[in-house]
């Protein structure tokens, strides 16, 4: 089987081998943080005018789902605490005190106010131990923005109480064939607001976010050859950035956004190169007769993890960003691919896909490895 055919099979199976994914296991290498106790939080009924009932329910439902997905909070049911709100609907001191006695540490509340054609969501959080308001966020947008305003409130709560950035305002880039042709789509992290962003009408694979979440890199056969394109999400401008004869795949931005790593078969077998985002300063960083694929930058930008079959089967390796000091990380199983670093600096952790079976002269990637979430929030106002 030729290199091009073998790697092409690799890419296709990343989309079609879901049926075989049940025998794969996610494996984590390195250190993990110690456990933590979730914060008990109760959502006080949101307030608003009668005409806003549907939007109130939407905002409250989204906030609850966001906080539960964050894994930082335990949502306490309202029935645990007797209701006691003031004329504005805000929680009174008695409610805050009773909630504290019931083990609730945080109360979240908001009111939705119509402002002409727009809506204002005024959102608040209270610490029961202090008995006072600790978060206040006011957001204004049109009727369609209520969902995003609720996401923003959730991220504000996560940030305030944990020091961690929330994920509720992030988006996911993925490939779908819902139109009959594979195209790149975006959606909110919870699956809402799906939007197609390409119209290549051909095989499209491996969407990857830029470090500032302003661009998407992907490989497309729109011109007949699998080339790497950059799509600017702000302007809609598309550029063909890597178009060597053969396969050009797996573009990955460095954390600072000053380099892009990718794999190409322009030298015969698949090798990893880096370049500046404008296509200049091309540099080859792997030199091996085996196939080297799927580069993944460490959070510091000093190392790159990648997949190689130089040891006989697909395994995870890591090297310095200049290609030096390459060494193998995985030894268990016949098939280990799709390395993905923890986004936290100082947490040396890699996620990968493992299959304990014969490699059969090709790499079979897990479906999840083709879906990349933006790691950084894109503010919506």
Rounded-to-integer distance, Cα 370 and Cα 206, Å: 5
pLDDT value at residue 351: 59
pLDDT value at residue 144: 87
Asked which of 11-15, 103-107, 160-164 is least confident by mean pLDDT, the reply is 11-15
Which is more confident, 90 or 193? 193
Q: With CA atoms as reference, report the closest residue to 196 among 216, 221, 176.
A: 176
Q: What is the pTM of this model?
A: 0.79
Q: What is the pLDDT of residues 322-359, one digit of tens each?
A: 999 999 999 988 999 989 998 765 545 665 555 433 23
Residue 86 pLDDT level (bands cut at 50, 70, 90): low
CATH 3.40.50.300 at 3-32+170-373, yes or no: no
Return mean pLDDT, the chain: 83
CATH topology of domain 39-162: Rossmann fold (3.40.50)
Residue 374 pLDDT level (bands cut at 50, 70, 90): very low
Domain ranges of the chain: 3-32+170-373, 39-162
pLDDT at 290 over 70: yes
| Residue 366 · residue 359 · CB < 8 Å | no
Residue 191: which residues within 8 A CB-CB, separation 6 or more? none
pLDDT at 120 over 60: yes
| 234 class by beta-carbon count within 10 Å (0-12 exposed, 13-18 middle, 19+ buried) | exposed
pLDDT at 177 over 70: yes
Give the count of beta carbons closer than 10 Å to the beta carbon of residue 291.
Answer: 23
């Amino acid at each position: 089987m030729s290199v091009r055919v073998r790697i092409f099979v690799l890419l296709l199976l990343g989309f079609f081998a879901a049926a075989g994914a049940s025998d794969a296991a996610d494996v984590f290498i390195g250190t993990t943080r110690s456990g933590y106790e979730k914060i008990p939080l109760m959502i006080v009924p949101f307030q608003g005018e009668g005409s806003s009932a549907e939007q109130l329910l939407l905002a409250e439902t989204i906030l609850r789902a966001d906080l539960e997905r964050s894994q930082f909070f335990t949502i306490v049911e309202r029935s645990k605490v007797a209701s006691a709100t003031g004329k504005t609907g805000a929680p009174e001191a008695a409610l805050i005190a009773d909630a504290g006695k019931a083990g609730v540490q945080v109360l979240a509340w908001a009111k939705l106010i119509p402002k002409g054609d727009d809506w204002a969501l005024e959102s608040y959080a209270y610490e029961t131990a202090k008995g006072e308001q600790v978060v206040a966020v006011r957001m204004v947008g049109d009727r369609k923005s209520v969902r995003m305003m609720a996401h923003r409130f959730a991220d504000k709560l996560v940030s305030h109480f944990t020091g961690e950035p929330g994920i509720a305002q992030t988006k996911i880039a993925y490939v779908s064939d819902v139109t009959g042709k594979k195209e790149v789509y975006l959606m909110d992290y919870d699956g809402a607001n799906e939007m197609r962003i390409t119209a290549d009408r051909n095989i499209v694979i491996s969407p990857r976010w830029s470090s500032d979440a302003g661009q998407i890199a992907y490989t497309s056969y729109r011109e007949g050859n699998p080339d790497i394109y950059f799509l600017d999400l702000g302007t809609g401008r598309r550029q063909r950035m890597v178009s060597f004869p053969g396969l050009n795949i797996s573009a990955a931005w460095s954390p600072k956004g000053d380099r892009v790593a990718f794999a190409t078969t322009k030298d015969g077998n698949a090798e990893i190169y880096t370049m500046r985002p404008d296509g200049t300063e091309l540099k080859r960083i792997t030199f091996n007769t085996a196939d080297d694929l799927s580069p993944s930058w460490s959070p510091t930008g000093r190392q790159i993890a990648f997949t190689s079959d130089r040891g006989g089967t697909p395994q995870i390796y890591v090297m310095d960003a200049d290609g030096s000091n390459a060494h193998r990380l995985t030894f268990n199983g016949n098939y280990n691919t799709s390395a993905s670093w923890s986004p936290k600096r100082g947490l040396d952790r890699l996620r990968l896909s493992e299959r304990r079976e014969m490699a059969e002269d090709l790499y079979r990637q897990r479906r999840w490895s083709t879906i990349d979430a933006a790691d950084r929030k894109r503010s919506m106002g």
